[in-house]
Structure 1
């Protein structure tokens, strides 16, 4: 009887040791995947920004803070129509960005589709007049690598305020990461897709920091001036797609034509300008899980006659001059994640880290030790049989 019991303990103990050895190989890879129940909400702090108020521009009504500006004094309708763009740029517009991420179909053991809704909101207005812009982004990712699949399944729907009815956005293959870094993030550059410009850029590792007691990796990228009119038109007309009325309304704000004096230039001849965009994006990533735990964006949108002028306005000296004069600004805004968002994302990261640590280290050690004890006890019991 004791010999039989001893053999049983040895077999069970040996099995546990084998499981302990193999557990990290089989279990950890199953933990290093994007969860299918992923849901997250992040918001930025409410901060003052410079914003061209299209509603006031349409009514020829100076923005708050410009009423006493000598350049914005007008009494007759004719004088109001000649007010420069400068008069409709509010330097103290309280803005906040909100993002909601959830998983939708297709989603299985290999891929997960993220649907990401992002809105830019004014804190000084009530709904629905508080909406500055909104995007609905869909991207199908490889759950293991966190990179987009190669198929043309990504889409970005862009809805400017009062842009008309929704239309089916074009689909396309997306080249870079965006909302999630790879598991086991490395200290190197990664391709990063920028939704605003519909372009791919490198985001570079710049150092380590500490957040909530954890080591995080800091990455940064600088996007040079991008012509948003051309980028969006190219996006809307992919694969021969025709522009819809909603597309045309969105593009309308990206290319404006006014007499030169309204742009702060000399003369009354019409001058056409496109909206350009630059950004300095900085993110912090918990490297084990690849979760982004903090984000900052220094967005600057402005109007320029051509790429050369855009480079001049986007330069350090040009940006400082524009901040002082405000003749071409569409938006000048520094967005910083708020404390609640950073805390929630770090909790997601630590939960993932804990699961991988338990599955890859704690559980194997416990099973291995228990297995070894059972084997030793088994031999002892059998020897006494």
Structure 2
């Protein structure tokens, strides 16, 4: 029995070491990926937003409350095909965003499709990525940087975030550690300075010019995004956007087409916190606590088993070489 115990301890220790390695290098990479069958809806709102009413009877700036609803769906077949082709986990998601004013008018609607690395969140050029801001007019897009989320294991550093309106990446700089409803998050800010993103034909009167003909004005766009990111999962828990778009002639501002401070609703934030708090805890344990415990306990059990095994081996010869004197030796003499 004594010889069995050391062997059992060593065997259990080896098992724990293997289990720790599997959790760290197999289970975690399998869990730390964006869902292939993504199906989500996010809502942002803006109060007292300034927009340009394109109704021919208006053609002027108006103040309204806005609600932006984004629906995101994962393309399972395309994701699997891209993953097989590239030998790494790729996700293909499609999204639709509808912005509605408080008077019930749909102010804009856009669609898009993007592929990205399931772990890092970095855009991947494949799978028919496109952008559609005008119905049935799709434009192929080669995206760069982060498109939907931050990487699993987000660091306190600067990341490039894709801005679809500007068609370029914007540095998202780490600001501080903070919390959202008790959940620890990293705060990032990505500010795009005013940038000409195109031109637009508008009536001369809209931009303060004389005449009845249309005139070509520059569309100048700026945006300051603030992200509150749960670092274990890379999920955006809360987000704000300070959007501004103007019409300019020779660099001079003439009319505001958009000025809105959008942010997740309180309900959206609460939902995100509830969902990603548990996911972050699970991933943290799989990637950190459980492997460490397995490693430490495994080494302790192996060491204990080896010590007991050596002690038993040393004691065995002493037991084998011992003699017993029972005091019964007699000698009988006959006469």
Superposition TM-score tier, normalisation by shorter sequence: 0.7 to 0.9
Q: CA deviation at 1:371?
A: 5.5
1:136-183 alpha-carbon deviations (Å, 9 max, x no partner): 121111112210124474211213xxx5xx25x233321111210112
- TM superposition shift of 1:292: 0.9
DSSP 3-state at the match of 2:242 = strand
**Cα gap change, 1:365/1:202 in structure 2, threshold over 3 Å: closer, same or farther?**
closer
The one of 179, 193, 199 aligned to 2:162: 193
Pairwise CA distance, 1:295: 0.9
Q: Is contact 2:46-2:261 (8 Å) kept? A: no
Aligned to 1:245: none
Q: The residue matched to 2:185 in structure 1 has which SS?
A: strand
Structure 2 CA distance for partners of 1:210 and 1:297, relative to 1, 3 Å: same
Which residue pairs with 2:65 in the alignment? 94
What is the TM-score with the length of structure 2 in the denominator?
Answer: 0.78
Name the structure 2 match of 1:40: 40
Q: Any residues of structure 2 matched to 1:111-122 within 5 Å, and which? A: 111-122=90-101
After superposition, residues 156-171 of structure 1 pair within 5 angstroms as 156-159=131-134, 163=135, 166-167=136-137, 169-171=138-140
Aligned pairs for 1:213-228 (under 5 A) are 213-228=182-197
CA distance in 2, matches of 1:170, 1:359: 41
Aligned length: 304
Match for residue 281 of structure 1? 225
Question: For the residues of structure 2 that align with 1:373 and 1:187, how far apart are their CA atoms?
Answer: 35
Partner residue, 2:26:
26
Assess if the C-alpha contact under 8 Å between 1:41 and 1:341 holds in 2: no
RMSD (CA atoms): 3.1
> In structure 2, how many angstroms separate the alpha carbons of the residues matched to 1:220 and 1:380?
58
CA contact (8 A) 1:119 1:134 kept: yes
Secondary structure of the equivalent of 1:182?
A: coil
Given that residues 8 and 378 in structure 1 are in contact (C-alpha distance below 8 angstroms), is that contact kept between their aligned partners in structure 2?
Answer: no
Q: Distance in 2 between matches of 1:134 and 1:110?
A: 30
Deviations 1:190-235 (A, max 9, x none): 21111122222222222222212233222222223333435xxxxx
The structure with more radius of gyration: 2
Q: Deviations over 1:300-332 (max 9, x none)?
A: 1221123x22xxx3xxxxxxxxxxxxx612121
Give the Cα–Cα distance (whole angstroms) in 1 for the partners of residues 93 and 139 of structure 2: 17
Which structure shows the higher strand fraction?
2
**Structure 2, unaligned runs of 5 or more:** 81-87, 313-335
* Alpha-carbon offset, residue 14 of structure 1: 2.6
Give the aligned partner of residue 111 of structure 2: 136
Contact kept in structure 2, 1:28 and 1:360, CA below 8 Å: yes
Alpha-carbon distance between aligned partners in 1 of 2:68 and 2:292, rounded to the nearest angstrom: 45
Deviations 1:59-117 (Å, cap 9, x if unpaired)?
x2x5xxxxxxxxxxxxxxxxxxxxxx4xx3212x1211111222114223611112121
Relative contact order: is structure 1 or structure 2 higher (C-alpha 8 Å, sep ≥ 6)?
1
- The separation in 2 between residues aligned to 1:264 and 1:170, in whole angstroms, is 32
Q: Partner of 2:172 in structure 1?
A: 203
C-alpha separation between the residues in 2 aligned to 1:173 and 1:263? 33
Describe the SS at the equivalent of 2:198: helix
Residue 255 of structure 1 is matched in structure 2 by 201
Which position in structure 1 is the counterpart of 2:50?
50
2:302 matches 1:358? no
**TM-score (normalizing by structure 1):** 0.68
Looking at structure 2, the residues matched to 18 and 262 of structure 1 have their Cα atoms a distance apart, in angstroms, of 71
More helix by share: 1
1:76 alignment partner in structure 2: none
**Do residues 346 (structure 1) and 318 (structure 2) align?**
no
CA distance 1:205–1:276, change in 2 (3 Å): same
Q: Secondary structure at the match of 2:153?
A: coil
